[in-house]
């Protein structure tokens, strides 16, 4: 069994270590099951096979009882770090993120699970108040089905900018579905979510609004249709997000938005 090399990064669900052959291993925190690693490996492979800029997956392994995935090492900064160090390039970085998402949204994929079921499960299981849950579920049932690649967590903290262009990591929640749903989720994350715990967090706060505006404007120029359908997808996307361990402040903002949009529908 190989031993991991130096620790390179740490995230919410895992730590990243150097691995033999110039690769990296994403080792899940203790308590994660092998299923989690298998799921991330399978979804990353499926997205890559359909043409998405995702790292190559080499193996799923156990290291001292912790499950891990061995990936190709992507060389370059996170888009979020690039933005934190050069905020004057915001327009360029937001356009890069929009281009990346629009590229995925033009790729069909049969190898990923359906988005609607993924969202429905979260809406059902999450702590959504009973006064809005049925409205969100009814709306989600009526929205169209598609089979395009949806990353499920696309934000600048999951993009590595390499010499070959921007690549996406963290495909754990990827599905095949409607681009507008994935776009809605990205807009919500950019507007309200804590994207990282590091020092980039403070740097991103004052840039949120401008970043999401430029991002959406650029996306709309490339793919107008999903941008048109955005407001329909906002309530279910926000409701699914509420099932995650988010801050009280984010939960309040999302819930207020769901109520306003359902009342206007
Ligand atoms: N293939 C890769 N090549 C190089 N660096 C990587 C690769 N995959 C992940 N990383 C680094 O490891 C960090 C954590 O990875 P990832 O986002 O997949 O983990 P996570 O725990 O799910 O993160 P979070 O929950 O905080 O979003 C990334 O921010 C990045 O710096
Ligand atoms: Mg991540």
Taking the CA of 11 as reference, the closest ligand is 1
Ligand 2 ion: residues within 5 Å (CB)? 11, 158, 170
**Is the model's pLDDT at 195 over the cut of 90?**
no
Task: Please tell me the distance from the alpha carbon of residue 263 to that of residue 86, in angstroms, as a whole number.
Answer: 41
57 Cβ inside 6 Å of ligand 1: no
How many other C-beta atoms can be found within 10 angstroms of the C-beta atom of residue 113?
Answer: 16
Cβ atoms of 152 and 104 closer than 8 Å: no
**159 and 116 in one domain?**
yes
Contact 214, 186 (CB under 8 A): no
Assess whether 210 and 239 both reside in one domain: yes
Phi and psi at residue 243, to the nearest 5°: -75, -10
pLDDT exceeds cutoff 70 at 1: no
Co-location of 64 and 147 in the same domain: no
**What's the mean per-residue pLDDT of the chain?**
95
The CATH number that applies at residue 36 is 3.30.200
Task: Supply the CATH number for residue 96's domain.
Answer: 3.90.1200.10
Query: Quick one: which atom of ligand 1 is closest to the CA of 170?
Result: 18
The answer to whether residue 2 is domain-embedded is no
Predicted confidence (pLDDT) per residue in 36-48, tens digit: 999 999 999 999 9
Q: Which protein residue's CA is at the shortest distance from atom 1 of ligand 1?
A: 73
Cβ neighbour number for residue 38 with a 10 Å cutoff = 13
**Rounded (10°) angle between helices 230-242 and 133-142:** 130
pLDDT at 101 over 60: yes
Residues 89 and 52 in one domain: no
Model pLDDT, residue 202: 82
Number of folded domains that form the chain: 2
Q: Which residue, judged by its Cα, is nearest atom 18 of ligand 1?
A: 170
Residues 191, 62 within the same domain: no
H helices of the chain, in order, are: 34-49, 79-85, 90-104, 115-125, 133-142, 179-192, 200-204, 208-222, 224-228, 230-242, 248-264
Collect all residues with Cβ–Cβ distance below 8 Å to 205 and sequence separation of at least 6. none
pLDDT of 11 = 85
- In a domain, residue 52? The reply is yes
Q: Which structural domain, as residue segments, surrounds residue 54? A: 7-71
The residue whose C-alpha atom lies closest to atom 19 belonging to ligand 1 is 11
pTM: 0.96
One domain for residues 99 and 43:
no
Q: What atom of ligand 1 comes closest to residue 73's alpha carbon? A: 3
| Residue 14 alpha carbon, nearest atom of ligand 1 | 21
pLDDT at 120: 97
- Give domain status of residue 163, yes or no: yes
């Amino acid at each position: 069994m190989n031993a991991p090399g130096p620790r390179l990064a740490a995230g919410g669900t895992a730590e990243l270590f150097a691995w033999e052959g110039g690769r990296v291993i994403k080792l899940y925190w203790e308590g994660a099951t092998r299923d989690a690693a298998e799921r991330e490996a399978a979804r990353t492979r499926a997205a890559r096979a359909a043409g998405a800029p995702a790292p190559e997956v080499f193996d799923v392994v156990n290291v001292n009882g912790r499950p891990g995935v061995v990936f190709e090492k992507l060389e370059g900064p996170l888009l979020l770090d690039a933005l934190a160090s050069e905020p004057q390039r915001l327009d360029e970085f937001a356009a890069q993120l929009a281009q990346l998402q629009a590229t995925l949204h033009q790729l069909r994929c049969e190898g990923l699970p359906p988005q609607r079921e993924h969202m429905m499960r979260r809406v059902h299981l999450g702590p959504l108040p009973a006064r809005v849950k049925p409205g969100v579920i009814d709306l989600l049932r009526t929205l169209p089905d598609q089979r395009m690649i949806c990353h499920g967590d696309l934000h600048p903290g999951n993009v590595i900018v390499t010499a070959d262009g921007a690549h996406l990591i963290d495909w754990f929640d990827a599905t095949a579905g409607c681009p507008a749903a994935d776009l809605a989720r990205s807009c919500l994350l950019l507007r309200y979510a804590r994207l990282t715990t590091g020092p980039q967090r403070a740097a991103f706060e004052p840039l949120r609004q401008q970043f999401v505006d430029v991002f959406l404007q650029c996306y709309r120029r490339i793919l107008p249709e999903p941008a048109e359908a955005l407001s329909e997808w906002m309530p279910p996307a926000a409701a699914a997000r509420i099932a995650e361990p988010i801050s009280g402040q984010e939960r309040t903002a999302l819930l207020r938005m769901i109520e306003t949009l359902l009342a206007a529908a």
